[in-house]
Amino acid sequence: VRFPEDLEDDSTTFNPEYSHQVFGDDEVAFGYKGLKILLYYIAGNLSTFFRVEYTSKVNEKFDCVEADDVESKIREIIPPGFCTNTDDFVSLLEKEVNFKPFGMLLHTYSIHNEEAGEDITYQIYKADMTCPGFREYHERLQTFLMWFIETASFIDVDDERWNYFLVFEKYNKDGATLFATVGYMTVYNYYVYPDKTRPRVSQMLILPPFQGEGHGAQLLETVHRYYMSSPTVLDITAEDPSENYVKLRDFVLVKLCQDLLCFSPGKLMQGFSQEMVTEAQQKLKINKQHTRRVYEILRLRATNMGDAEQSRSYRLDVKRRLIGPYKKKQRELAKMRRCLRPEEMTNQLNQIDLNMQREQLEESFQQLVSDYRRVLERLAQA
């Protein structure tokens, strides 16, 4: 909500992707007809207005069953101090002009908005719990995780090893410049013996109204560039990354790596090398596993897949990596042969059909190439 009229504007509404963490695996609130659970957030500081509407509700006295206590379930997620009536919320909205982003400005960028017909400015900040008001703001911000990240959990904000990176949109209201929350990322700094840290991306969320505009890539690249300048950082990883995050990371890392000398077309065609691992880690804080994916994407760009020899060479190179888990299974089988009875061994072998393995390997390769092509297409448009 930026203006009072947004309260009645359905176009500013977005629905949760997940609600099982609040309402159980069936995502059901029992005992209501026409139930609406409404959460409004002021665009900048995320002050919250909560109300529940329904046309009818079961009655324990007459229906002998009790409706779910929807309100208490929501109260477990949103922090205290939220509004329960429109007037209080609108009066808070009038004070929004005083809200300013927390922490240190890291990056400013613009994106052209077709609908508005103009460039809109965005800024990325790094904050921590010492920033006045940030702890309370973060409590409100993290409520979105429950609706948009499948296995979300709230973090321990008293642990000083957390870093917070925030994206804001700058917009004008009655001649004043205001800020709207776009998304954020939390990063935990793990200790690596003897004197390094390994930042691990824990949570990343761009709010639905801003998704698909490139903010995720801007945020991840800014965070990488922030840590790249630190001599104590070994490399940057992610905790249990989603499929979408992996695709985003592929794009950002390829964009960062493509100008390194070790990734020149001539060197790419010679195969994956230790030089690539070393340079990517030292200059860009990218670990070996991620560097390998970057190499495969950039080699695909340098490869003429219409040339039979080049195509075959690329396919074998990628499949040699993909076959690792299958080879591990073969080694396990060799151990089994030494300790299992013949009938037990036959049972194990039946589970591992070599033709099926080849099919799975080819399927994995084709899927990977398809994903890599999408990264290259996006890179060409960047």
The residue behind tokens 């026409």 is: 34
Which residue type does 380 have? A
**Angle, CA of 337, 340 and 345, to the nearest 5°:** 70
d(CA 186, CA 190): 13
d(CA 269, CA 308): 15
Which residues in 213-359 belong to E strands, given as ranges?
237-238
How many helices and strands in the chain, by DSSP H and E? Answer: 15, 10
d(CA 182, CA 208): 9
Phi, psi values for residue 183, rounded to 5°: 175, 180
SS3 content of the chain, % helix, strand, coil (to 5): 50, 20, 30
Tokens of 311: 């195509």
d(CA 334, CA 235): 36
d(CA 107, CA 125): 7
Classified as helix, coil or strand, 360 is helix
1, 46 contact by CB (below 8 A) = no
* Residues involved in catalysis: 239
